[in-house]
Structure 1
Amino acid sequence: MMLKPLLDKITPYLPNQDSSTVTNLLILVMAMLDKRTVCVNKLKSAVGGIIDKPETKVQSHYIRLIRFFRAHSSGDLWIHIVRCGLLLLKFDSRYLALDGSSWQSGGVWHHYITLCVVYRGVAIPIFWTDLAKQGSSSIAERISLFDRALKYFVLQGKVLLADREYIGVDWFKYLINKQIDFVIRSRDYSYFALIDEFSSGRTVEEMIAKAMRSSKPNKAISKAFRLSDDGPTLWIVVAKNPHPQGKEDFMILITSLDQSAYATVTDYLKRWKIEHCFRQLKSNGFDLEKMNLGNVKRRRLLMAVVVLAYTIALVEGLKDYKDAVPFKSHGRQGRVYKAISLFRHGIDRILQSAVRLPQFVAYFVGEIRRATRGYRSSQLLNV
């Protein structure tokens, strides 16, 4: 199978990159899917089999991978890789999810604040930054993340889902100004006084009491309010916590959406998908915490490759996951869940038929063609 004609079909989606760069990118993606790690020192052992050169010294493969990061970490390849993955989804999602994941490695703190799209029940990263610190993000750091993301993606009209860390009057105003709707969980008692001052009807405490008195397991109550006299109209939703292991009995949500309280709670529950995403990128999947590139820009490029590998696995898994993977029960409570994750099912499907680079390139070209046939995204800027 001739690689060059196939690679030429991918290069338009990775502007200003030659076929050698695309080849090394796809080798990295294959190695990550095979080894399920981001540690370059471990990925090197997969390269010989992928390119069908088992006689080549493993150290030579390691040098090849390191050269890729040295050559391209300072350019814009990383964002084109992310956008290429999003083409597989057609950016077909109304919902965004924001959260952070932090860990310590070699005495250095990493804190990846990550923006995802929620696509067919899974969260897939589209933009991130490493705050390189322990603790929560600031409003200024979040705004900086979104200002940069908006240079590449049209986020207006989407709904941001986020947990209690991501609150703040200035933050709410910023999102409204950017025409991004939101459903964000509030810390208990954070805005009770302001909400009661600038709204009518029941107090927040009375709303909580009514929700908890109800015999309905999904009881939710909402009312409109403002955080200042001239502020935009928002809605507070009080609901019983639907999570059986939740620490609190109730949830307080703040939203810009004028809809039923039940619809707001249903929207918010999609946020939990980003926690599944972090588990797959870390301990249950690519072992992101073992990232061993010291340079910030190289880590950014590596993260983009991980996201592409993750996206490919999910898109492939979604093709038949519902019907092909059986359910199983676990524990005394008999909790029912799928026997293997969507992520692992997708990897298994890919590696069954694409064990060498030419096969994988042909597969990826087919996926790009399928996703982009008659399609031009109005949500990926400059695509």
Structure 2
Amino acid sequence: MPNLIKLESILAQNLKLHKAKINCISQMIIGLITAQSSNLKKIARHFPNTTQIESNYRRIQRFLAETEIDEHQIASLIYNLFGLDKVTLTIDRTNWKWGKSNINIFMLGVVYKGIAIPLYWDMLDKRGNTNHLERAELIERFIKQFGKDNIEMILADREFVGELWFNWLTAHHIPFAIRIKKNSKVVNHHGKLVQIKDLLRHVSHKETYRHGRILIVDGCAVRVFAKRDKDHGLVIVATNQLQTLDAMTIYAKRWEIESLFACLKGRGFNLEETHLTKMDRVSKLVAVNALAFCWAYHVGIHHDKQRPLKRKPKSNGRPQASLFALGLDLLIEGLRLVLLNNDKAVFRQLVSFLTPKPMKIGWCWFFVVCRDSFYYPHHLVRHAALDIAG
């Protein structure tokens, strides 16, 4: 069993929890990463201790039932980890059903290098979309902790529209770039009320169109941008930054929160595998997921800085392998070495990636981890082998 003191120390500096709770969340994070599942039983099986699985399982259940986690402490840990300052925020929902229960997570993330970083979230006790009060409350939590001046832009998809919402953002001087519905009503140059798609019939798929007039959409003065997607459908983005020249490029980064959900739910930690239905407990499990995600993502980012790898783009232009996937593979294999060999040096390196200034990745253990990885070009494997032999 590895000594978790280094990991516990980092978490204890940021989360004001009892020592036993810090130990439990440390083991949960490692169990979540190595199991790649949010199923509590599977996490319990991967606790890095010699305790019986059933005892670990009951410990997780007690932690989720009894522990109060300060959301601002989690957010500050993550904000400082990535050295964030002025940021572009993106909001979206992800939901699924377990039995008759609707699990609906409303997430606020920071746009960052291709995948959004989770900061705040709400558990919605309903199936559908948010209202303007729920959206405003989530943004206000960010403002309370980090200040309004640190918001560069709010990005959101077309379900996050409405007069009260647009006016709240504008009244608080918060810039936004939000996709709007093609049947949104606007006034044409004849003074007639029409659907906005009627003003944009001429838009081609070749370039982004910037409408010449300032329009009133949902009671708010906005500049409108439009383009055609690959299926020739209209993508229409409205911004209250009336002088901006290209809100479409900024809005395109909204997709990063979809990548975050994919990491949490699919190719990362399979969040939907949890059988939890009580909202407060799911929210705490999301907090553990967020910490594990940021740990893996930070490993991937710093490895890419240290030794950039060629990642072939997919048809949509995004890399075939994300920095999160790269970091998660390195983290899983590194933890495997630690658990098998009780390698304290490797564990110190891994844990350092939960700090803003991590240690350099050890070349020798990195070679062991990556020699069979599809990320790692064969000619570099040969060079690494020579380095180790020499």
**What TM-score range do you get, normalising by the shorter chain?**
0.7 to 0.9
Corresponding residue SS for 1:309? helix
Q: 2 CA distance for matches of 1:204 and 1:57?
A: 62
1:370 aligns with 2:360: no
After superposition, residues 196-235 of structure 1 pair within 5 angstroms as 197=191, 207-212=199-204, 217-225=206-214, 227=216, 233-235=221-223
> C-alpha separation between the residues in 2 aligned to 1:368 and 1:116?
19
CA distance in structure 1 between the partners assigned to 2:289 and 2:165 by the alignment: 29
Instruction: Find the counterpart in structure 2 of residue 377 from structure 1.
Output: none
Distance 1:205 1:78 in 2: 41
2:286 is equivalent to residue 285 of structure 1: no
Query: What letter matches 2:133 in structure 1?
Result: A
Q: Distance in 1 between matches of 2:319 and 2:20?
A: 39
1:99 is paired with a residue of what secondary structure? Answer: strand
Letter in 2 for 1:223: G
Query: What is the RMSD of the two structures over their aligned residues, measured on CA atoms?
Result: 3.2
Residue 347 of structure 1 and its aligned partner are, at CA, apart by 1.1
Q: CA deviation at 1:45?
A: 0.8
Q: Note the C-alpha offset of 1:348.
A: 1.5
| Matched ranges for 1:139-218 at <5 A | 139-156=132-149, 157-193=151-187, 197=191, 207-212=199-204, 217-218=206-207
Identify which of 74, 99, 105 aligns with 1:112: 105
Q: Secondary structure at the match of 1:211?
A: coil
Q: Is the contact between residue 81 and residue 355 of structure 2 (CA under 8 Å) also seen in structure 1?
A: yes
Query: In structure 2, what residue type is equivalent to 1:249?
Result: G
Shift of 1:194: 8.0
Query: Does the 8 Å contact 1:211/1:221 carry over to 2?
Result: no
The answer to whether the 8 A contact 1:127-1:149 is kept is: yes
Distance in structure 1 (CA, Å) of the matches to 2:316 and 2:113: 22
Question: CA 1:335 to 1:132, structure 2 compared with 1: closer, same or farther past 3 Å?
Answer: closer
Instruction: Give the Cα separation in 2 of the matches to 1:326 and 1:135.
Output: 41
Distance 1:102 1:195 in 2: 41
Q: Describe the shift of the 1:360–1:22 C-alpha distance in structure 2 as closer, same or farther (beyond 3 A).
A: farther
| Structure 2 match to 1:11 | 12
Task: Show structure 1 runs of 5+ residues with no match.
Answer: 372-383
Taking a change above 3 Å as real, the CA distance of residues 325 and 111 of structure 1, as seen in their structure-2 partners, is: same
- Say whether the 8 Å CA contact 1:195–1:225 is kept in structure 2: no
Deviations 1:150-179 (A, max 9, x none): 333324432011111011121111112233
1:27 Cα deviation from its structure 2 partner: 1.2
Q: Residue type of the partner of 1:209?
A: R
State whether residues 95 and 160 of structure 1, in contact with CA within 8 Å, keep that contact through their aligned partners in structure 2: yes
Letter of the structure 1 residue corresponding to residue 331 of structure 2: I
Pick the aligned partner of 1:297 from 265, 280, 285. Answer: 280
- Residue 106 (structure 1) shift: 1.4
CA drift of 1:2 comes to 6.6
Q: How does 1:1-383 map to 2 (within 5 A)?
A: 4=5, 7-15=8-16, 17-47=17-47, 50-51=48-49, 53=50, 56-72=51-67, 75-92=68-85, 94-156=87-149, 157-193=151-187, 197=191, 207-212=199-204, 217-225=206-214, 227=216, 233-237=221-225, 239-241=226-228, 243-244=229-230, 246=231, 248-261=232-245, 263-321=246-304, 324-328=308-312, 338-354=319-335, 355-356=338-339, 360=347, 363-365=350-352, 367-368=354-355, 370=357
| Larger relative contact order (CA 8 Å, sep ≥ 6) | 1
Task: Look up the equivalent residue of 1:187 and give its one-letter code.
Answer: K
CA drift at 1:259: 3.9
TM-aligned CA distance change 1:5 to 1:163, over 3 Å:
closer
Q: Matches of 2:196 and 2:321 in 1, distance apart?
A: 42
The residue type paired with residue 76 of structure 2 is R
CA 1:360–1:301 in structure 2 vs 1: closer, same or farther (change >3 Å)? Answer: farther
Count how many residue pairs are aligned between Structure 1 and Structure 2: 348
Q: Residue 121 of structure 1: CA displacement?
A: 2.0
- Residues 256 and 9 (structure 1), Cα distance of their counterparts in 2 relative to 1, 3 Å cut: same
Q: Tell me the distance in 1 between the aligned counterparts of 2:169 and 2:125.
A: 24
Deviations 1:191-233 (A, max 9, x none): 323897599xx99567513433xxx7123123343539xx764
Deviates further, 84-93 or 104-113: 84-93
TM-score normalized with structure 1 length: 0.79
Structure 1 pair 293/83, CA: closer, same or farther in 2 (3 Å)?
A: farther
